[in-house]
Amino acid sequence: MAQGSVVAGGAAARRTRTKPARTPGSKDGKGGKGSKNGANKWLLGIALLTVFGVVGAASIAFIPVATVMALWCEITDRAPLAECTMQPGGQVCTGDATMANVPAPWAEIFTAAGDEFSIDPAYLAAIYMTENGNAWKDLDTDWPSSPCCHGPMQFNLGAGTWDAYKFSADGGPPDYMDPADSMFTAANLFTHADGLYGSVTPETPLGDVARWDPGTFVYSAASYNAGPAGNWNNPETLRYVENVHALITSNFTQGGTGSYGELATYPPPHGMGIGEGEGGEDGAGGGWTGCGGGVSGGGLDGVVRIAEQEYAKGIVEQPFGSNCGPVISDTYIANGCEEWCADFVSWVFQEAGIAFEAEPGTQMYFWRHPWQIPAVIGMKAWFQSGGHGQEFIPVGSGGPTKPPRPGDVMIYSGHVSIVVEVDEASRTLVTVGGNESNRITRANGTFSMGPSGPVVGYGRMNP
């Protein structure tokens, strides 16, 4: 999804055209090639047929594959941006050679958007697929939306991303639910958000999936998902980038592994969006990414994922320092304004499908809703009660009696947050917490000392 916050109009949001935009399904901005260009295509076609006829089947293997692919791309006009040259280390072609497995009309949309903004259309195709569960959906799909993200490319409307880069494929009002407009807008973002996402050009390499170096497309793909310079070190973005890389390097015959969001799955292989890979298995595909509030379920993994997703939204108090805000007041607190760290933790666990449950005899002060413990002291007492399989792990001078794990609740004397990463070797961890510096914050700490001071203990759910 396109995350992050930008000032609408503050970035280069529209490209000055030197020719009409290519509309999906047309060969160029004028609706067709000129006579000279068309004649060249026919001559190249005759030349290629002559090569096959003269050399014969027994000798075809000696013709360089790149040469054949280059001729084919030139004849079919499938690579307007780049030569079909083989990338080092794999049988993958830049430009539209990787588009051979992309069905119409999607291929035409990606190619037109790539031509307009000088970006490899295969990159756009990989982002689309990753946002849509590795499925080529019908253009008239009722594209899903969540509290933040909408349409085929899951633009974050609240952060201003759509408004800053919106672009119409046909000259009409831009529509984020329109496949062509959303693709042109994504291409606009990738090629113009220099200081935010990292500018992408026809020469931008795909990059190493294990190293998200600036100047590579995997770097920009991570920013597109988690927000510019945002929290990349989370399971969702890791799987997202793996999927983008796997799609491109396999010529769109294989997706990544794991799941992204709650509904989109990436079974390897997944062939061209129809549920069959090369000798592979059936797969339903489909689904959408979600943006926290629209995603539920998942147990402790879901707790971590949802906490990370909420952090990636960049939610802050409005006004700053007020303990209020549209999402904070209406969603986490569920009514009003107050110090909301425990409310945030309660909401995340409810969204993950393992909501806190009231204990008989528990003081009503500790409960506002059946799933919500609004006070830190109440949350500590609830974990200590153990009535639903939960437990409290105290922290003494030697540290916790059990090492923490992702999905635990870190409890201080006056604050709570969620553990999202643990390194037992160094006894360090990472937490996501609400109402930290008037926002949701991702912070580092040790087993005994967190970002808000000494740790009293850990609350652990045992679903």
Q: What is the DSSP string of 360-393?
A: TT--GGG-SBTTB--SHHHHHHHHHH-TTS-EEE
Amino acid in position 436: E
Cα–Cα distance, 399 to 449 (Å, whole number): 9
Cα–Cα distance, 293 to 274 (Å, whole number): 29
pTM above 0.85, yes or no: no
Angle in degrees, CA 181, 183, 186, rounded to 5: 110
Q: How confident is the model at residue 288 (pLDDT cuts 50, 70, 90)?
A: very low
Closest CA to 289 of 263, 270, 314: 263
Higher pLDDT among residues 32 and 460, named by residue: 460
Q: How confident is the model at residue 41 (pLDDT cuts 50, 70, 90)?
A: low
Q: Is the pLDDT of residue 91 over 60?
A: no
pLDDT at residue 9, rounded to an integer: 36
pLDDT at residue 236, rounded to an integer: 72
Q: How confident is the model at residue 161 (pLDDT cuts 50, 70, 90)?
A: confident
Q: Do residues 449 and 380 lie in contact, with contact meaning Cβ atoms separated by under 8 Å?
A: no
Average pLDDT over residues 210-218: 86
Tens-place pLDDT, residues 247-287: 888 778 766 544 443 333 333 332 333 222 232 233 222 22
Closest CA to 97 of 112, 109, 107, 88: 107
pLDDT at residue 313, rounded to an integer: 85
Cα–Cα distance, 279 to 282 (Å, whole number): 10
Tens-place pLDDT, residues 352-407: 889 998 776 656 456 778 889 999 998 999 999 888 889 999 999 999 999 999 99
Q: How confident is the model at residue 229 (pLDDT cuts 50, 70, 90)?
A: low
Cα–Cα distance, 266 to 268 (Å, whole number): 6
Q: Is the pLDDT of residue 434 over 90?
A: yes
Q: Is the pLDDT of residue 421 over 90?
A: yes
Instruction: Please give the structure tokens belonging to residue 278.
Output: 């090369």
Burial 258-281 (b: 16+ CB within 10 A, else e): bbbbbbbbbbbbbbbbebebeeee
Range of weakest confidence among 130-134, 291-295, 410-414: 291-295
Average pLDDT over residues 61-83: 41
Q: How confident is the model at residue 424 (pLDDT cuts 50, 70, 90)?
A: very high
Range of weakest confidence among 82-86, 107-111, 142-146, 159-163: 82-86
Q: Do residues 351 and 41 lie in contact, with contact meaning Cβ atoms separated by under 8 Å?
A: no
pLDDT at residue 90, rounded to an integer: 37
Higher pLDDT among residues 197 and 176, named by residue: 176
Average pLDDT over residues 5-23: 38
Q: What is the CA radius of gyration of the chain?
A: 26
Instruction: Please give the structure tokens belonging to residue 173.
Output: 């009002």
Helix (H) or strand (E) holding 224: helix 217-226
**No. of helices (H) and no. of strands (E), the chain:** 12, 13
Cα–Cα distance, 430 to 307 (Å, whole number): 12
Q: Is the pLDDT of residue 226 over 90?
A: no
Considering the domain 77-265 in this protein, what is its CATH number? 1.10.530
Closest CA to 117 of 174, 202, 178: 202
Which residues have CB under 8 Å from 64's CB, separation 6+? none
Cα–Cα distance, 323 to 421 (Å, whole number): 27
Q: How confident is the model at residue 235 (pLDDT cuts 50, 70, 90)?
A: low
How many Cα atoms sit within 13 Å of 145 on the Cβ side?
11
Residues of the chain with CATH 1.10.530: 77-265
Residue with tokens 């959906």: 137
